[in-house]
Amino acid sequence: MIKDKSETTIETNRHQELGLTDQDVLDIYLNMLKARRVDERLWLLNRAGKIPFVVSGQGQEAAQVGAAFALNRDKDYVAPYYRDYGFVLAWGMTIKELMLNNFAKAEDPNSAGRQMPGHFSSKKLRILSHSSPVTTQNPHAVGIALAAKLKGDDIVSFVTFGEGSSNQGDFHEAANFAAVQKLPVVFMCENNHYAISVSLKHQLACEKISDRAIGYGMPGKTFDGNDPLAAYAAVKEASDRAHRGEGPTLLEANCYRLMPHTSDDNDMTYRTKKEVDEAKKNDGVLTFANYLRAVGVLTEDREKKMEEQVRKEIDEATDYAEKAPFDDADTVLRYVYEEEN
Amino acid sequence: MPVISYIEALTQALDEEMSRDENVFIMGEDVGMRGGVFQATKGLYEKYGENRVIDTPLAESAIAGVGIGAAMYGMRPVAEMQFSDFMLPAANQIISEAAKMRYRSNNDWSVPMTIRAPFGGGVHGGLYHSQSMEAIFANVPGLKIVIPSTPYDVKGLLKASIRSNDPVLFFEHKRAYRLIKGEVPNHDYVLPLGKADVKRKGTDVTVITYGLMVHFALQAAEKLADEGISVHILDLRTVYPLDKEAIIEAASKTGKILLLTEDTKEGSIMSEVAAIIAENCLFDLDAPIKRLGAPDAPAMPYAGPLEQAFMVKPEQVENELRNLAEF
């Protein structure tokens, strides 16, 4: 922050220092906004009885989108987890595809209605399919990096997971394996402070998730998960390190889960409205918009246009997905094994 | 044709597949410089180097999970679990991930991975180096489970498993490694997954079995032939999914069936085989379906006499077959 003569605070232009253009940060914001508005629409659709289930990413968009922009979106492989709406939008998945996913329709590229919503997958986009038993994707991301190393491909394998997941054996086994083999993996924990109802202090005794990195012989870093620029900087550094052959990094995005765990959860049974309201003050979607306004990148007119564009896209996508057919019942037996021809 | 051991056939298959396809690589505990605790990967580290014969940290879930990731990238990992008893930490990766990957992604992703694991008893291995683990995984569509009984089958089935575009669990009987020898062609050949094989033709009694028990059955059949009892032996070779057609044919042929496994009996592979026969062959049966397996106790004890008491013995096989023939 710098102060001008009249003592009013003027925001430093932080994104230029990171090599990001005004258009880049507007794109980052647009993706965050899309993720937020899609998420909000999903809750409405659920409460209206149109879709059976929502798993929410609200409060984690900044870290997700900032991370995606720091990676090579044409080459790198990613294993996002089920709250990563912001991430997959920034990675190339469309709102229409996300709506098809949530309505579980045949055209859903993630699983054609096999999996619950938010279980992202796309070979075309190099998004690994993941499941509901958490953290199983971490060893897969390591396997991708191992295979790329064996084939001499210069890529980074990026994986996300929650802080509860960082207690799983697969978190440990994957981190250790990647470090021993010096593989190009970026582990990013989205610490949203809750594993369903169990808060951080009941999940782990160390101060930060990133403190665990030293046990694997890799660097660990915690950053403000409400700030996409902090996420960008941290993931960029980890990715550069991976490209240089220096091995994996453990990152921790300090976020907050603004919504209940899922549409089937009631978070007021284990946390207070006051706590949630307090966290909302730091909501990345709001604070980043403030930043963009302060540095003169986001004008009122542009913001209005963005909101209109996103709303229109969501309306059309919702309409399309709702009307789209489910997969035929006889496809339930398809693709258990490879099919001939 | 050269006569080699069960484990030599295994090493030969691995070697040939690695030389044929650069995407094939081996990973597991002690598979590198040590050549595997049973020497199944002997010489491969020297021949293909540490990048293709990877000594992993002692962590089975990572061995399976990293293998899955590598397979999704287009490699063909052959992961070794040092003993099948130790693969349960990897069960989530095998059941929730490898088995469901193709289905849950609607055919977008696949996991062309083979997981090898020595199983079976009779080697003083105690509770945790003797178990049969196949039944635990034999209710998981998406997986294939292969258990060869002869060196010839080892080579052809392992090659087929490695070339399969779906995950295969390949269980090798550790007592068969050096005990069982047989003719194995030097040239390249594959045997079909999912197909059982008649190991002996007979007319009076049918044995359906797999693994080391195939040899117990062959031994018993030889003896019973002297008594004028003709035994038909079907080796399942793939225990999941089962070759139903071959089972129905073998059961119907004699109408008297012994289902033999060294696994604990209740809920074993043979329970499913019995169900298939019951559903399809009722009017061809001339005796109740008989199962012979290990007792329903947790696992094979270490002390010699206790191990003997637990393990199915060749004489039991012989007696059961005689009883059925006389029924």
Average pLDDT, chain A: 96
Per the annotation, the verdict on B129 as an active-site residue is yes
Instruction: State phi, psi for B54 to the nearest 5 degrees.
Output: -100, 120
Task: Flag whether pLDDT at A1 surpasses 50.
Answer: no
Chain B: nearest CA to A18, how far in angstroms? Answer: 32
Task: Flag whether pLDDT at B4 surpasses 50.
Answer: yes
Mind giving me the DSSP string for A97-159?
Answer: HHHHHHTT-TT-TTTTTSSPTT---BTTTTBPP--SSTTTHHHHHHHHHHHHHHHT----EEE
Distance in angstroms (rounded) separating the CA atoms of residues A65 and A81: 13
Distance in angstroms (rounded) separating the CA atoms of residues A158 and A70: 11
Angle value at C-alpha A79, between A75 and A81, nearest 5 degrees: 145
Contacts of A339 in chain B (CB under 8 A): 107
Angle value at C-alpha A161, between A82 and A326, nearest 5 degrees: 15
Chains A, B: CB contacts within 8 A come to 141
Task: Flag whether pLDDT at B288 surpasses 50.
Answer: yes
Contact A144 B69 (CB under 8 A): yes
| E strand or H helix at B78 | strand B76-80
Average pLDDT over residues A179-204: 97
pLDDT, one tens digit per residue, over B104-157 is 999 999 999 999 999 999 999 999 999 999 999 999 999 999 999 999 999 999
Q: Which CATH architecture group holds A2-325?
A: 3-Layer(aba) Sandwich (3.40)
pLDDT at B279: 98
Yes or no: say if A176 and A217 are a contact pair by the CB < 8 Å rule: no
Catalytic residue among B124, B129, B187, B215: B129
Distance in angstroms (rounded) separating the CA atoms of residues B269 and B272: 5
CA nearest A141 in B: which residue?
A: B69
Q: Has this prediction a pTM greater than 0.95? A: yes
Average pLDDT over residues A22-41: 98
Distance in angstroms (rounded) separating the CA atoms of residues B149 and B201: 17
Contact A143 B100 (CB under 8 A): no
Task: Flag whether pLDDT at A321 surpasses 50.
Answer: yes
Average pLDDT over residues B238-255: 98
> Looking at domain B3-183, what is its CATH homologous superfamily?
Thiamin diphosphate (ThDP)-binding fold, Pyr/PP domains (3.40.50.970)
| E strand or H helix at B294 | strand B290-294
CATH of domain B197-326: 3.40.50.920
pLDDT at A11: 76
Q: Considering only CA atoms, which of A103, A98, A159, A101 is closest in space to residue A134?
A: A159
Q: How confident is the model at residue A340 (pLDDT cuts 50, 70, 90)?
A: confident
Distance in angstroms (rounded) separating the CA atoms of residues B208 and B274: 10
Chain B: nearest CA to A187, how far in angstroms? Answer: 14
> Tokens 């950053």 belong to which residue?
A223
Contact A143 B74 (CB under 8 A): no
Percent of residues, chain A, with pLDDT higher than 70: 97
Yes or no: say if B193 and B141 are a contact pair by the CB < 8 Å rule: no
CA nearest A77 in B: which residue?
A: B73
What is chain B's percent helix, strand, coil content, to nearest 5?
Answer: 40, 20, 40
Q: Is the ipTM value over 0.85, yes or no?
A: yes
pLDDT, one tens digit per residue, over B144-153 is 999 999 999 9
Contact B166 A338 (CB under 8 A): yes
Of B68, B93, B110, the CB nearest to A338: B110
Contacts of B93 in chain A (CB under 8 A): 136, 139, 170
Of B66, B96, B164, the CB nearest to A131: B96
pLDDT, one tens digit per residue, over B8-28 is 999 999 999 999 999 999 999
pLDDT, one tens digit per residue, over A77-124 is 999 999 999 999 999 999 999 999 999 999 999 999 999 999 999 999
Yes or no: say if B299 and B122 are a contact pair by the CB < 8 Å rule: no
Yes or no: say if B96 and B104 are a contact pair by the CB < 8 Å rule: no
Contact A337 B142 (CB under 8 A): yes
Yes or no: say if B259 and B290 are a contact pair by the CB < 8 Å rule: yes
CA nearest B65 in A: which residue?
A: A139
Of B75, B96, B141, the CB nearest to A136: B96
Q: Considering only CA atoms, which of B260, B252, B256 is closest in space to residue B230?
A: B256
Distance in angstroms (rounded) separating the CA atoms of residues B279 and B297: 29
Contact A136 B97 (CB under 8 A): yes
Average pLDDT over residues A177-204: 97
Q: Are β-strands B205-209 and B181-183 bridged in parallel, bridged antiparallel, or unpaired?
A: unpaired
Fold: same for B3-183 and B197-326: yes
pLDDT, one tens digit per residue, over A128-148 is 999 999 999 999 999 999 999
CA nearest B90 in A: which residue?
A: A170
Distance in angstroms (rounded) separating the CA atoms of residues B245 and B208: 13
Chain B: nearest CA to A166, how far in angstroms? Answer: 15
pLDDT, one tens digit per residue, over A200-238 is 999 999 999 999 999 999 999 999 999 999 999 999 999
Contact B69 A170 (CB under 8 A): no
Q: At what angle do helices B151-163 and B6-20 cross, to 10 degrees?
A: 30
Chain A: nearest CA to B232, how far in angstroms? Answer: 31
Contacts of B110 in chain A (CB under 8 A): 338
Average pLDDT over residues B47-60: 98
Of A128, A144, A173, the CB nearest to B61: A173
Strand partners, B183: B3
List the domain boundaries for chain A. Answer: 2-325
Average pLDDT over residues A307-326: 98
Of A121, A133, A144, the CB nearest to B96: A133
List the domain boundaries for chain B. Answer: 3-183, 197-326
